[in-house]
Amino acid sequence: MTLFDPDAESIGLRAMQYAEPIFNYYNRSTRASVIRIRELLEDWFAAYPNEASEDLRQRFRSPIAGQHRGAFFELYLHRLVTRVGYVVEIHPEIEDEDTHPDFELLKNGMRQFYLEATITADSKEKIAQQQRADQVYDALNRLRSPDFFLTIRVRGAPATPPPGARLRSRLERWLEGMNWDEIAQLCERGGFDALPTFPWEHDGWSLLIQPWPKAPEQRGSQDIRPVALTMPTTVRQLTLNEDIRNAVEVKNKYGELEVPLVVAINVTDEFRPDKTDVMNGLLGQETVIFGPGPARPGPRNPDGAWYGPRGARNTTVSAVLVFPGLTAWNMGQTIPWLVHNPWARVGLPSDALPFPQYVANHEDHTMVDKPGVPPYSFLHLQQPWPPED
User: Residue range 75-102: average pLDDT?
Assistant: 92
The reply to whether 229 falls in a domain is no
Q: Which residue has the higher pLDDT, 95 or 64?
A: 64
The reply to whether 272 falls in a domain is yes
Q: Which residues contact 296 (CB under 8 A, 6 or more apart)?
A: 288, 289
Give 234's pLDDT tier (boundaries 50, 70, 90): low
The reply to whether 64 falls in a domain is yes
Is 370 in a helix, a strand, or coil?
A: strand
The CA angle 386-17-217, to the nearest 5 degrees, is 80
| pLDDT at residue 64 tops 80 | yes
| pLDDT at residue 360 tops 80 | yes
For residues 169 and 252, membership in a common domain is answered with no
For residues 102 and 148, membership in a common domain is answered with no
For residues 293 and 325, membership in a common domain is answered with yes
For the chain, what percent of residues have pLDDT higher than 90? Answer: 80
Query: Domain range holding 61?
Result: 54-122+239-379
How many folded domains does the chain comprise? 2
For residues 66 and 212, membership in a common domain is answered with no
The reply to whether 339 falls in a domain is yes
Q: Which residues contact 377 (CB under 8 A, 6 or more apart)?
A: none
Can you give the pLDDT at residue 388?
A: 86
Can you give the pLDDT at residue 319?
A: 97
**pLDDT tens-place string over residues 127-140:** 999 999 999 999 99
Domain end residue (candidates: 189, 224, 259): 224
The reply to whether 81 falls in a domain is yes
| pLDDT at residue 237 tops 70 | no
The reply to whether 154 falls in a domain is yes
**pLDDT tens-place string over residues 318-341:** 999 999 999 999 999 999 999 999
Q: In 3D, which of 344, 324, 120 has the Cα closest to residue 252?
A: 344
The rounded distance, in Å, linking the Cα atoms of 326 and 374 is 13
Domain end residue (candidates: 179, 198, 224): 224
**pLDDT tens-place string over residues 147-177:** 999 999 999 999 999 999 999 999 999 999 9
For residues 244 and 359, membership in a common domain is answered with yes
For residues 89 and 112, membership in a common domain is answered with yes
Can you give the pLDDT at residue 240?
A: 72
For residues 102 and 171, membership in a common domain is answered with no
Rounded to two decimals, the pTM is 0.92
For residues 202 and 296, membership in a common domain is answered with no
Can you give the pLDDT at residue 239?
A: 67
